Structure 1
Amino acid sequence: MRPVPLSLTARENALEAMGSTTLDVLVIGGGVVGAGSALDAATRGLSVGLVEARDFASGTSSRSSKLMHGGLRYLEMLDFRLVAEALKERGLSLQKLAPHLVREVGFLYPLQHRGWERLYAGSGVALYDAMSKASGYGSGVPLHRHKTRRGARKLMPALRKDALVGAIHYYDGQVDDARHTMFIARTAAAYGAHVANRTRVVDLLREGDRVVGARVRDLESGREFDIAARQVINATGVWTDETQSFAGQRGQFHVRASKGIHLVVPRDRIRGESGLILRTETSVLFVIPWGRHWIIGTTDTDWDLSKDHPAASRRDIDYLLAHVNAVLEQPLTHDDVEGVYAGLRPLLAGESDATSKLSREHAIGTGAKGLVVVAGGKYTTYRVMAQDAVDAAVHGLSAQLDRSVPPCCTEDVPLLGADGFEALRNQRHRLAARSGLSVARIEHLLGRYGSLVTEILDLIADRPDLGRGLAGADDYLRAEIVYAASHEGARHLDDAIARRTHISIETFDRGTAVAEEVADLMAEVLSWSAEQRDREVEHYLLRVEAERESQTMPDDETADAARMGGRDVVPVLQDERPQDAVAPSGAAE
């Protein structure tokens, strides 16, 4: 298995292949579950296509709390099966599947009451650790420890003395969600899947009562064409109901969107070495170490407005600041907030009015012949969800193939960058000396690319100017932008600034200061005209302006209206093409 770049040429070849053959499986949706389904199916020897309307992980899968965890709160709900499943998947990713993208992270759970709370919470965390060990993949995660108030404040000096009587320190996993999802899609391509972003499904193809493929629109060109497939997997998350409707049948279940927002603040605003987990009246609140930053989240509220661009309101931001400030000696203000991001959880609709009480378990539906629907679940269990979806598709394929299909093997399939990662990490000093970069820079690159770091270093060897940091976002090298466009499927400025890097949430200017430089670097790789390059920058600046405005609005409705002021770049570009270059139905994002 050799790495395959998600280049412009590779995308065109993938689209041509999908339009000229009958696939065994077509996966709709390039989030973590869709990418995982494509990888699962490809590694079983099936012919596979994966299409994503926007960018890989552009929806829920890049807007999570960036945790790979079992979910302590589900123990309190007595959902032991979900926790056990998630802990196994956490350990698999940490130890085998993606050690370059998933790492352990410590959390303090402050205790408010003496005696009974330490016994109650301590028993839960002890069970959490025991379930991790029982999974067979818990050896790399340290066991929890009880802390006195003094011991807890030594780890987290930022905590107010009266905010706790003691604490429990435990460990979970952290993941770079956007890059992890992209790596899954790229690994699927390496195993033969045809992968294309910016490719929207506009209808499902049917023969009688059977789904036999999809009508898609290439949003880069406006061209529409059909993709024939023996089985179609709908892995579109919060868009599940809309995609199901193309089949002309009512779905077996419905998905409800729950909005969660997160704040990003500089690391020096909260003094401490550990994350925090705090109880709120509806759920839990995390304060998570994230490089030179902290991520604070999340909210959990029903959302029935635009799914493309969920907006964070002033009320959301105030809610998070109020809850975290309740335990901090030096309160945070709005001026401390570098970045804000909002995402939607795809929850299986139930009878509860509170989204925090809806199921995080997933469901598989096969209401229409030839169509498998997977929904619900949580980021950590993406691989299990993908396995169940492909199992259902294989069942539907049994009468159409003249061979048996092997069972799932993704438990033993590391993502690109995992093989050789430990060896290269041990050689980081030699890599630094050879490349002229600092050891800290090499460690940063290893945590983003794993063993594929050599491809980045090759770019710098050929063009030394790419070894410089971006002006205004020095954490990232110029080479990383070139690589994002040439190897990682980044097609637009948004893709590079918001997902291949995290500049959009890690700088106070939200990435506007680097937009020109990033556009120049991407333009070289993607052969943009001067007009398109300028349009990309203009679009990004308008997006940031719209997001900033939405975050000053008092509620969801006004925030959503403000956020919709920033249009998506693909329709903007298509609107400017000659009329005969656009599909008759137009291009909608």
Structure 2
Amino acid sequence: MTESRLTAETRSAALRALAASTEEGAELDILVIGGGVTGAGIALDAAARGLRTAVVEAQDWSAGTSSRSSKLVHGGLRYLQMLDFKLVHEALTERDLLLTRIAPHLVRPIPFLYPLRHRLWERAFIGAGIALYDSLASLKRGKRSVPWHRHLGRKELARVFPDLSEKAAIGAIEYWDATVDDSRYVLTTVRTAQAQGAIAASRTEVTELTKNSAGAVDGAIIRDLETGESITVKARAVISSTGVWTEEAQALAGEPGGLRVLASKGIHIVVPRERISGQDGLILQTEKSVLFVIPWSRYWVIGTTDTPWAEDLTNPTPTAADVEYVLERVNAVLKHPLSEGDVVGTWAGLRPLLQPGTKEGTSSAKVSREHTVASPVPGLTVIAGGKFTTYRVMAKDAVDFALGDGARSIPSTTAGIPLLGAEGFDGARADIAATIERFGWSDQLVDHLLHRYGAEVTQIAALCDADPTLAVPLAEAPAYLRAEIAYAATQEGALHLEDVLLRRTRIQYEYENEGVASLDEIAAIMAPLLGWSTGRMLEETSSYRERAAAEQDARLSPDDASAAKARSRAVSVVDALRSDEKATG
């Protein structure tokens, strides 16, 4: 095991190691492109097999789809309608594995209500489907990770979810799935991969895939986006896991083959917990998508939509029409309708939808209903599709495919590898009992910390014990301790303010105005830890405020084109900093 911390220093060391891969005997076995959940999973899978592995990400870890999901780990009830029992069983097996062994701190069971409108046939039909869902989860050995489903009558439904309109249901079926802090899950997987020996570098863009004399991909040219410097990397195999950027990544090889992917936008809104009286989540069928109403900490997450997106892939945004659609659909079942004024925050993510067939020139492919692994050119493996829940299976398939027959001698071991913070999670509260008592932390705060860090909460406690000023909440985002910001900068690879507000925490959409009120305090904590000058602090805060204003303007726009135009007015923080350096240099 090696160092799990992600810092500016470990990133620099990773870039040096990548540059050294051109030296004799230092070539990588696997270079992974893409730092979402699947890319992180591939890096962990490959490194755990003993392969010399590196993973690079053009933005921050999980900055794409993997930080903008519905935050669910589930088996996929809708696949039962397609009679795809094998796929549902696979997803439920993975769900239970994450809940019990791999990440019990980051993945938590949650009950959902499926409202019923008809007394007899619907209860029998839907009940049979959910009973099958539960049965497929019980095919594995051992104790169940979630309770069995149960039927609720009108009276019990009113007790469990008082704000559900009496016109919306005559009863319900309660079943269980799980929620996940998606961005933290990806970050923790990257850190676990690094602890297994993987080289990891964010803000590192692949600009070209190189080839040997036989025409096979043998590495890449990457650019450090923080400095603009380019590095040549050599690898025996390159695996692309770039989601909606799949076709762009394939094009770097200069070949016509590959997978076809379209982007579909899904949006979510966030409203305060007190605005809806209910204990369980809801699953609702709409004419366009499945709508979830998910209880999470101090608020509700409501979504999603499913619409084509043809604008900038980096910055998908909700529109006024999107928010209105979600509000209309959820208000149809609520006693006390929500208004736009109740919406504290929003986000939009893009699903990479695989299209039938592959481009001409693709030599081979392994296809499932959920994901596809293909090789458009020798030396390059591409994986696309799938969902968060089955990322580990996808990672295994991608590495197996890249290794070919060699995979038999070094099979995947990730089913038995807990993520950082999982081991010791059960005793973590007792481990920090003295710190809890010293600072008078509430049960709610302790639960928040355990859910985010697991056994690593001892590191948060150590920061607070060493500097008591870190043991208090942020003034303008009191759900988070000041120590969590310090931890993000010193342990979790946060390089910019947006990395903290968007992904290390959820401040951006948990607090009004994108969390701008907390900026100065967060910047003041990060600055000495990352060596920022006063000018750098001002640039970081100014860039985030510009981003926040653009996001809010986009949300008020009537359609995707105008929303994308509004969002484009904000320059990325990396581009802003490099432009400023050139101007002052």
Contact 1:45 1:405 survives alignment (8 Å): no
1:283 aligns with 2:289: yes
- Mapping of 1:307-318 within 5 angstroms? 307-318=313-324
1:567 aligns with 2:576: no
- Out of 189, 199, 202, which is 1:197 matched to? 202
Deviates more, 1:412-421 or 1:428-437: 428-437
Contact 2:266 2:305 survives alignment (8 Å): yes
1:300 aligns with 2:306: yes
Write the distance in 2 (CA, Å) between the matches of 1:164 and 1:51: 49
Which segments of 5 or more consecutive residues in structure 1 lack a partner in the other structure?
A: 352-357, 399-403, 582-589
Deviations 1:250-298 (A, max 9, x none): 2332111110000000000100111000110122100001100000000
Write the distance in 1 (CA, Å) between the matches of 2:491 and 2:169: 48
Deviations 1:396-443 (A, max 9, x none): 878xxxxx8510000000000000001224556555225543333222
Offset at residue 224 of structure 1 (A): 0.6
The equivalent of 1:372 in structure 2 is 381
- Mapping of 1:497-512 within 5 angstroms? 497-512=501-516
The equivalent of 1:261 in structure 2 is 267
Cα separation, partners in 2 of 1:269 and 1:428, compared to 1, 3 Å: farther
The equivalent of 2:24 in structure 1 is none
**Residue 347 of structure 1 aligns to which amino acid in structure 2?**
L
Provide the secondary structure at the position in 2 that maps to 1:253.
strand
Contact 2:2 2:197 survives alignment (8 Å): no
Provide the secondary structure at the position in 2 that maps to 1:54.
coil
Provide the secondary structure at the position in 2 that maps to 1:107.
strand
The equivalent of 1:207 in structure 2 is 212
1:5 aligns with 2:14: no
Cα separation, partners in 2 of 1:536 and 1:291, compared to 1, 3 Å: same
- Out of 306, 326, 329, which is 2:332 matched to? 326
- Mapping of 1:29-68 within 5 angstroms? 29-68=34-73
Cα separation, partners in 2 of 1:87 and 1:137, compared to 1, 3 Å: farther
State the aligned residue count.
570
Cα separation, partners in 2 of 1:541 and 1:138, compared to 1, 3 Å: farther
1:152 aligns with 2:134: no
Deviations 1:71-107 (A, max 9, x none): 1112112222221111011000000000000000111
Contact 1:362 1:374 survives alignment (8 Å): yes
Write the distance in 1 (CA, Å) between the matches of 2:513 and 2:554: 16
Provide the secondary structure at the position in 2 that maps to 1:488.
coil
The equivalent of 1:354 in structure 2 is none
Cα separation, partners in 2 of 1:137 and 1:382, compared to 1, 3 Å: farther
The equivalent of 1:362 in structure 2 is 371
Write the distance in 2 (CA, Å) between the matches of 1:431 and 1:71: 41
Return the TM-score normalized by structure 1.
0.94
Contact 2:431 2:458 survives alignment (8 Å): no
Cα separation, partners in 2 of 1:29 and 1:396, compared to 1, 3 Å: farther
The equivalent of 1:118 in structure 2 is 123
- Mapping of 1:62-461 within 5 angstroms? 62-136=67-141, 139-208=144-213, 209-350=215-356, 361-395=370-404, 405-425=409-429, 429-433=433-437, 436-461=440-465
Give the percent of matched residue pairs that are identical in Structure 1 and Structure 2: 50
Contact 1:101 1:447 survives alignment (8 Å): yes
The equivalent of 1:587 in structure 2 is none
Cα separation, partners in 2 of 1:434 and 1:405, compared to 1, 3 Å: farther
1:554 aligns with 2:558: yes
**Residue 487 of structure 1 aligns to which amino acid in structure 2?**
Q
Contact 1:360 1:378 survives alignment (8 Å): no
The equivalent of 1:584 in structure 2 is none
Write the distance in 2 (CA, Å) between the matches of 1:405 and 1:10: 31
**Residue 331 of structure 1 aligns to which amino acid in structure 2?**
P
- Please, what is the CA RMSD of the aligned residues? 1.7
Offset at residue 243 of structure 1 (A): 0.3
Cα separation, partners in 2 of 1:177 and 1:360, compared to 1, 3 Å: farther
Contact 1:394 1:405 survives alignment (8 Å): no
Which segments of 5 or more consecutive residues in structure 2 lack a partner in the other structure?
A: 22-26, 358-366
Contact 2:134 2:149 survives alignment (8 Å): yes
- Mapping of 1:23-34 within 5 angstroms? 23-34=28-39
**Residue 32 of structure 2 aligns to which amino acid in structure 1?**
V
**Residue 288 of structure 1 aligns to which amino acid in structure 2?**
I
Write the distance in 2 (CA, Å) between the matches of 1:118 and 1:2: 53
Write the distance in 1 (CA, Å) between the matches of 2:188 and 2:194: 10
**Residue 73 of structure 1 aligns to which amino acid in structure 2?**
R
**Residue 285 of structure 1 aligns to which amino acid in structure 2?**
L
- Mapping of 1:458-537 within 5 angstroms? 458-537=462-541
Deviations 1:197-242 (A, max 9, x none): 0001111111131101111110111111111111000000100000
Deviates more, 1:282-291 or 1:244-253: 244-253
Offset at residue 347 of structure 1 (A): 1.3
Return the TM-score normalized by structure 2.
0.95
Contact 1:435 1:461 survives alignment (8 Å): no
Provide the secondary structure at the position in 1 that maps to 2:350.
strand
Deviations 1:459-516 (A, max 9, x none): 1111100011011110000110011011001111111011000000111222100011
Deviates more, 1:358-367 or 1:93-102: 358-367
Write the distance in 1 (CA, Å) between the matches of 2:219 and 2:131: 48
Contact 1:51 1:196 survives alignment (8 Å): yes
Write the distance in 1 (CA, Å) between the matches of 2:163 and 2:430: 34
Write the distance in 1 (CA, Å) between the matches of 2:97 and 2:308: 32
Provide the secondary structure at the position in 1 that maps to 2:480.
strand
Write the distance in 2 (CA, Å) between the matches of 1:347 and 1:511: 32
Write the distance in 1 (CA, Å) between the matches of 2:154 and 2:141: 33
**Residue 553 of structure 2 aligns to which amino acid in structure 1?**
E
Contact 2:247 2:258 survives alignment (8 Å): no
Offset at residue 66 of structure 1 (A): 0.2
**Residue 280 of structure 1 aligns to which amino acid in structure 2?**
T
Contact 1:90 1:173 survives alignment (8 Å): yes
**Residue 285 of structure 2 aligns to which amino acid in structure 1?**
R
The equivalent of 2:360 in structure 1 is none
